[in-house]
A and B are shown apart, each in its own frame.
Chain A
């Protein structure tokens, strides 16, 4: 079975540019999560969706960040404009449910470098 697919795997861009990260969840999963991982802050939950609807975006650092899930098989995380402090690894995960005993399944992440 295909796992969670993220693209691109690596992104290097200059500050001020728009960055779009993409995620395809596991088919049949109803919940999707976006995380950011840095050395300083560890693993942070940015936002999660249930049935394509954003439920909690309190982890989104600021208005420069936005996430959408137009359908059950695709989600994007956008940063506009990007800043060097946004450099991190961004993970997408999906699950059958946002709470309860079902585990989250993670993609391999997008390593983002903002110059």
Chain B
């Protein structure tokens, strides 16, 4: 079975600052990795995914993530935070079972 650890349940950044949300995974088979975003009173929306190939994956809204097998990580970054990025972010892994999510990280953006 696979698992996901998201470091930091709450991250706060200033508008315009770098966003870094951390995700580490474990999987006994080559994983597929996902980042989802949840805005208030909405469902989860896919930000980006890693399947195979290029390890740096670009997603919507200027976000990107890098798959690092040696570190079992899939951290999410955005160079410059915008107020509209305030939301809950979930990292997920698919290995030999369906998608398993981390506990989520709430991102606050300060003006």
Contact = CB atoms under 8 A, between A and B. Distances in A.
Given A33-B98, A43-B90, A48-B98, A103 B103 contact: no
A106 B98 contact: no
B84 interface: no
A104 B51 CA distance: 14
B70 interface: no
Contact of B44 (A56, A91, A101): A91
Contact of A107 (B43, B46, B97, B100): B43
A45 interface: yes
B74 interface: no
Contacts, number: 51
A42 B34 contact: no
Contact of A91 (B43, B52, B98, B100): B43
Interface residues of B, number: 22
A107 B5 CA distance: 24
Nearest to B103: A42
Interface residues of A, number: 22
B43 A43 contact: no
B49 A103 contact: yes
B54 to A, nearest CB: 14
B101 interface: yes
A99 B41 CA distance: 27
A99 B96 contact: yes
B94 interface: yes
Contacts of B98: 31, 33, 45, 48, 56, 98-99
Interface of B: 32, 34, 36, 41-46, 49, 51-52, 90, 94, 96-101, 103-104
10 contacts: A33-B99, A42-B103, A43-B44, A43-B101, A48-B98, A103-B34, A105-B46, A106-B36, A109-B42, A109-B43
